[in-house]
Amino acid sequence: MAGLRDRQKADREKRILSAAVTLFKARGYHAVRLEDLADRADVSVGTVYNYYRTKGDILIATVALEVEEVLGMGRRLVADPPHGVAEALLALIYSYYDHSLEYLSKEMWRSAMALSIDAPETPNGLRYSALDRKLAAQVTDLIVRLQARGEVRPEIDPAAIGQLVFNNLNMMFLEFVKDDAMTLAQLRAAVADQTRPLARLIATEQS
């Protein structure tokens, strides 16, 4: 099955991705030239293009690793969310935010987001958009769950409000990565200010 060729292939791809994670985070996505990446992965520039379509493709691949992990955490949280609408929503949002800079720098996020906007039809852009959609769906899932529990009013449309909340948290994350001086604490505070009143409005009266 896995002959020499397949092993070498897998090995090379791993080396390239690993070189990318290291170099992008250390020197910044833009500052890393493809030649640097190729050298560190012990392949030629041409070979890099055999595994990834563009430089941006490599970045998206590293970002995707991170987002997949975040989605996993979110799933666990949605399965058994904290009580209280604001508490549950913010717990999910914070779990997204808190892990966002673990493997990626702000500059990497910026470049990845820009890429997905500028070239939405490429494999890059499609993959990133798909992940975004999954995150939005997770917020909706959480609202559905809270509704089932009787904490959110039954007349609320979970998809519409879920998208609203996601769009807001995503935009605020964008502000965060655009501003190198902004801290995670500030991001959390800003989003809480926007999410809490909304949570109060969609919660069943009892508070």
Residues of this chain that bind DNA (CB under 7 A)? 3-6, 8-9, 12, 32-35, 43-47, 49-51, 53-56
Minimal distance, residue 97 CB to DNA, in Å: 29
Tally of CB atoms within 10 A around 64: 16
Residue 82: name its binding partner from its own copies, DNA, none (Cβ under 5 to 8 Å by kind): none
Chain-centroid distance of CA 71 in Å reads 8
What is the chain's alpha carbon radius of gyration, rounded to the nearest angstrom?
20
Residue 117: name its binding partner from its own copies, DNA, none (Cβ under 5 to 8 Å by kind): its own copies
- Of 131 and 172, nearer to its own copies (C-beta) is 172
**Cα–Cα separations (whole angstroms), residue 207 to 123, 148, 181:** 46, 17, 36
Which residues of the chain form contacts with its own copies (CB under 8 A)?
Answer: 110-111, 113-115, 117-118, 120, 125, 129, 156-157, 160-161, 163-164, 167-168, 170-172, 174, 178-179, 193-194, 197-198, 201-202
Q: Cα 139–110–53 angle (5° rounding)?
A: 100
